[in-house]
Every structure is written in C-alpha cells, then in structure tokens.
Amino acid sequence: MSASPRFRPTAPAYVALGAVLALILPVLIYGPWVPLIDLVAFVGMNSYPPQLSYGPVHTYSFQFTYVGHYALSRLLTDLHVAAPYQIATLYLLQAGACFLIVYRSLERLVENRWWRSVGIALGTLAFWDGVFIWGGPLAFSLGASCVGLATFLVLREAAEPERRSSLPIALLIGFGLICHPFALPFALILCGLRFLFVQRHRRQTLAFAGAVLLFGFVIVRDSPASEASATASLKILFTVDPAQMWLRVTNLFTMDALLVRTLFGATPWTSTVFFWVMGSLHLIGFAIAPVLAWRCRSSLWLRMLAVLNTVVGLCYLLSVDSPAAPIPEWPQRILTFHAPFTFLTAFAGLIHLLGRWRPAITAPDRRLPRGAWLVPAVLLLAVMAVQIPVLRFGPILAANVDRARTEFLQTNISSAYVVATGIDQVRPFYLRCVPFMLFSDPEIVGRHVLLATEWHFQDRHPSRITELAFNLGRDRYRADFSASDGSIHVQVFQHPPHRFPIIENTNLERWGNAHTLAKGQFNQGVTLLNSGFAAAALEHFNTAVYLAPTFGNAWNNGGAILSQLGRKAEAEAYFRAAVQAAPDEIDFRLNLATTLLENGRPAEATAELNEVLRRDPTSARARELLSRSSR
C-alpha cells in the first residue's frame, strides 16, 4: 500500500504565514484598541445597545446606505462583543481581505517562489495608506474591502472559466453599496472590467450595472438632501488641469504622511519610508499599466489588472481635492479603493517586464543561495516596524477613554441629554473619537444619558436622537472636551433654557462658521413649524439668533410664534430685533406694527407703517393697518 501524499508547504506559504502573524501580533500586543479615529468613532456610535434603539429617545432609522457597517457592528454587539474587540475585529477583517487578494493573486501572477515571497511580504500592508489609517471611515473602507474582494473574484472568474462566482460578486458589491454610496462608481468600473473580459456573462454583467445604477438612483431619492447635493456636485470632482495632475503625482509621496501627521502629531520615519515605497509602486503601476494592457498576452490576470489600473490611474490623475468638493480626500479615496490592485499591477508588472528582458532572473526553477531568503524575512520585520509606531497609541487611546468616562460619571448626571462640544480643542487629532465611545458606554447609557456627537447632527448617519429636535423636558448639558499633553478631559455644564445645545467650537472646517450653524437651526425650526410643532420650532429659532444675532428671518419667525402663543410683549421684542437686523425687510416692519397695535400702542405702529409706505407706497397691508391705527 502506497503512503498518502503529505502536504508540503512551500516557501511562499511560510512567508504568508509570517505575514499573517505580522498583521495580528501588533494588534495583540497593543490592542484591542486600534487608534484609527473613524474606525473607533463608528464602532462607538454603532454599538449603542440595540434594545434601546427603538425609541422614543433614540432610534436607528432605515436607510439604503451607510448601514452595512452598522449592521455588522450591531450583530457583534448582540453577540456581546465589547466595543474594543469590535474595533480589532473589523480592523483585522479588512486587513485580511486585502492580504488575501494580494496573496492569492501573486500565486497566479508570479511563478518564481522567491519573487513571489518578496511580493507577499511587501504587499502585506498594501492597504496601509493615509485614508485607511484615518479609519476609512469604516463605512468607506469596509465598502472598499467588499468591492476589492468582488474584483478578485472577477479576475479569478476570467482566468478560470470553470469557476462561477456571480452570486458572491453580486453580494459583495451589494454590501459595499449599503456600506457607503461612494462604492457606486467603483462598482461600475468593476462591471466594465467584467464585461470586457468575462464574455460568457456579459448579459449578466449588464444586469449588474443596471442594478447598481438603479440603486444609486434610489439612494439619491431616498437619502437626506446631503446625498442629493453631493451627487449634483460630482462634476467638480474631476478636471483636466496640468497643475492638478502634477499635484496628484507629488501627493503619491506626501499625502499619506500628512494624514498620519495630522492624526498623531508626527509621521514615524518607518511610515515615511513605507509611504515613499508605496508611492513609487503606485507611480510605476500607473506608468506601465497602459503598456501591459496593450501588449501583455501571456497572462490574462495581469492584463486585466493593467486595464483596471489604467482606468484607476486616469481617475486619480484627473481627480480634484477641493474644499468645495462633496467628497473630502477624493483622490486618496480612489487609491484606497484599489490599493491592493495598484500594488499588484506594479509588482507583478515589473516582474513580467524583467522576465522578458532577463528570463533567467525570474525563471520558476531558478535556485538562489539561502541568504536570499533573508529578504522576505527582513521585509516582514519592516512590516512590523511600520505598524508599531501607529498602533502603540492604542493603549493611550484606551487610557483616555477611561479617563473621560470617569470624569463624566463623576458629575453624577442622570436622565439627561448632553451635547459634546469643543472637539476642536483636542490634540492629538486621533483622540477626537473618545466622545463616540462615551455615547455607547454601558454605564453612561444605564444612567439614561444620551451624549450627542457631531455625527448625530449629520443626516446621513442612521443614528437618530429625538432631543436633537425636541425638548423632552429632561435636563440638558454641554460636555466640553479638551486635551493637554495627550490627556483628554471633559467638563459638563448645564445648558441655558429656551435654546438647543449645539456642537459649538467643533470641527469648524466641516460645520462652518456660526452663521452656517445658525442656518441649520433655522431650517430645523422651519421644518418643525411647518409640521405643527411651534414650541419646538421657537427653541431652534432662539438658537439661530444666539449663533447669529443679525439673523432677521429667525427673529421674525420667533416673533410670529410668540404672537400666536399670545406672548405679545416678547413678540414685539423679536420683531424689533428683526427690523434692526434687516431694516429693508418690509414684512418685518409690518409684523412689528401689527404687534404694536395689538399691544395698544397705535402711535408707534403708525410710525412704522409710515416707514413702510415710504419704502413701498403700494403696500396694501400697510394702508389697511394704518386705517386701523387711526380709529
């Protein structure tokens, strides 16, 4: 009887095992807190106790997008996975997806075991760019991971016709879209790639593309106005401008380091070197991709990668990063979505070209001295060295969450609504995720305290707090966050009555100046007033004039509500403030004159009405009121 064959792992398999350890060990050592700001913030916001998210004070609303990551986090919460371990799990899940793409692709692209091992080691952190280190945000990076896996399946489907992957491809694209709407253009690029190279499924691919476009239409129609306005502004995301194109090239080497420096106050030298290496590979990949797409016939997998990278390179070079753009860091997001494939195109493309020039160097059976195998081992050590200076901030983040939590609990606040403010004062930047963790902290929640964060004021997020719009009669507070020497602190102050707590002094670059915030409060008040909630609307108008004392429309609307409520003296004061803020607004003076008449002061009303007629002699309402005042 012959002995059964035994599995004999190859050198690339050992390198792959080392790569997996290089990804997991830093998280085990410094985790479970992974200090990626938006990853932590999303887990904090999404892990609020599910059974308390059915109202009346907090709800999770149904949406067609920005919900995939929430569903995953909520599932983990239901399985009693604590928030810190959710953070580590989601980080490793995304890292593992990217590494799987790189490892399995190199098996098909590079036959020489030594070169393949070098590629596996170097590609371990192909996903590790500035946007990912920022935390994605989680919705975006998770969507990128899903579309990335779908892209890998399309590559495999073309190279191995016997494999059928239509269902997993559709599911991955669908989950990517429900995570983040920005996955839509990248899903369409993938559909185009599949249409070109997987000819036996062209009708099916057209159906996929149609479904993606239909879903995009649904998102715009169904989601808050912010998504519709972003869609309308897509045309400013691309331009043919040589200066912008050169900026994109230089940003390949500088932007990731800048984002890391913004987060942590400095860019570790290991990260700087790594970003330069990856920037060089990106640039090489973009440069050789058109040549490989045109000339490469020996490897369908590589040719498809080259076509994909050509399209991605054009999108990146023509993209614009502007404060007016609806999508921040848009060029970097393009790179993040295709990071493993850009790396693979550059590395495998160089090996392919090197093999054509010097076939012996890349020959599958080429024997190398044992010392050559130190290269992938050293690269794996470098992978560890790149991660550690960033992940070492994990315990510091954990200590700051615990400190802020302790200080907050020491206030003994219960049954209250609290708004987190002053986040702009927190440095280093990555610590700004702390308030999100307090939002879902079990003991704070157990005291019936809702801590509203800046993302709760964004319509696109599904987490809804009733007290953003209505005063439910509970005590309301402002939690001011600050940080010194890397230690975050929080002070809580009771909020004045008759106006809503807002996110003052928080992320002014995103939220705008006081007048922009006032406009938001005014719009909220108009919406409530039109829905019949006059008292709630009044508080929002009060907040608007607190932020912008010359906001005439807010003064006028507040006066109208007070007049309806029979509070004539207060209404008069509001109308006077409206006239003072906007002397040319005739309606404001007419409202003031009407209130003066109702308050028994016809002489003052006549003076205002004469001023109206001086400005608009045709005003019928002014003449009618003037006749009443003379009786």
**Residue 433 half-sphere exposure, CB side, CA atoms within 13 Å?**
30
Question: φ and ψ at 32, to 5 degrees?
Answer: -80, -5
Q: What is the 3-state secondary structure (H, E, C) of 356-390?
A: HHCHHHHCCCCCCCHHHHHHHHHHHHHHHHHHHHH
- What pLDDT, in 10s, does the model give residues 571-581? 999 999 999 99
Residue 511 has pLDDT above 50, yes or no: no
User: What per-residue confidence (pLDDT) applies to 81?
Assistant: 93
User: What per-residue confidence (pLDDT) applies to 161?
Assistant: 86
Question: φ and ψ at 250, to 5 degrees?
Answer: -65, -30
Query: Can you tell me the mean pLDDT for 259-281?
Result: 93
User: What per-residue confidence (pLDDT) applies to 304?
Assistant: 93
How many Å apart are CA 38 and CA 41, to the nearest integer?
Answer: 5
User: What per-residue confidence (pLDDT) applies to 508?
Assistant: 45
How many Å apart are CA 65 and CA 216, to the nearest integer?
Answer: 10
Rg (CA), the chain: 30
Residue 612 has pLDDT above 70, yes or no: yes
Query: Can you tell me the mean pLDDT for 146-169?
Result: 92
- Rounded to the nearest integer, the mean pLDDT of the chain is 88
Q: Are 561 and 534 in contact (CB under 8 A)?
A: yes
Domains of the chain, by residue range, sit at 11-391, 394-510, 514-629
User: What per-residue confidence (pLDDT) applies to 164?
Assistant: 84
Query: Can you tell me the mean pLDDT for 184-189?
Result: 93
For the entire predicted model, the pTM comes to 0.88
User: What per-residue confidence (pLDDT) applies to 426?
Assistant: 85
The residue type of 375 is V
User: What per-residue confidence (pLDDT) applies to 322?
Assistant: 73
Residue 7 has pLDDT above 70, yes or no: no
Reduce the DSSP state of residue 489 to 3 states and report it: strand
- Check residues 137 and 396 and name the one with the higher pLDDT: 396
Burial class (CB in 10 A: 0-12, 13-18, 19+), 554: buried
- Check residues 290 and 5 and name the one with the higher pLDDT: 290
- What pLDDT, in 10s, does the model give residues 42-70? 999 999 988 888 888 888 888 888 889 98
Query: Can you tell me the mean pLDDT for 273-281?
Result: 94
Identify the weakest region by mean pLDDT among 249-263, 407-421, 490-504: 490-504
- How would residue 88 be classed by pLDDT, with cut points 50, 70 and 90? very high
**Residue 345 half-sphere exposure, CB side, CA atoms within 13 Å?**
32
The fraction of the chain above a pLDDT of 70, given in percent, is 94
* Other C-beta atoms lying within 10 Å of the C-beta of residue 11: 14
User: What per-residue confidence (pLDDT) applies to 631?
Assistant: 62
- Which CATH topology does 514-629 take? 1.25.40
Cα-Cα-Cα-Cα torsion 176, 178, 182, 183, nearest 10 degrees, comes to: 20
User: What per-residue confidence (pLDDT) applies to 76?
Assistant: 93
Q: Are 482 and 400 in contact (CB under 8 A)?
A: no
How many Å apart are CA 373 and CA 355, to the nearest integer?
Answer: 20
616: tokens are 């608009």
Residue 153 has pLDDT above 80, yes or no: yes
Cα angle, residue 625 at apex, residues 620 and 627 outer, rounded to 5°: 95
Residue 361 has pLDDT above 90, yes or no: no
User: What per-residue confidence (pLDDT) applies to 348?
Assistant: 93
Q: Identify the DSSP state of 5.
A: P
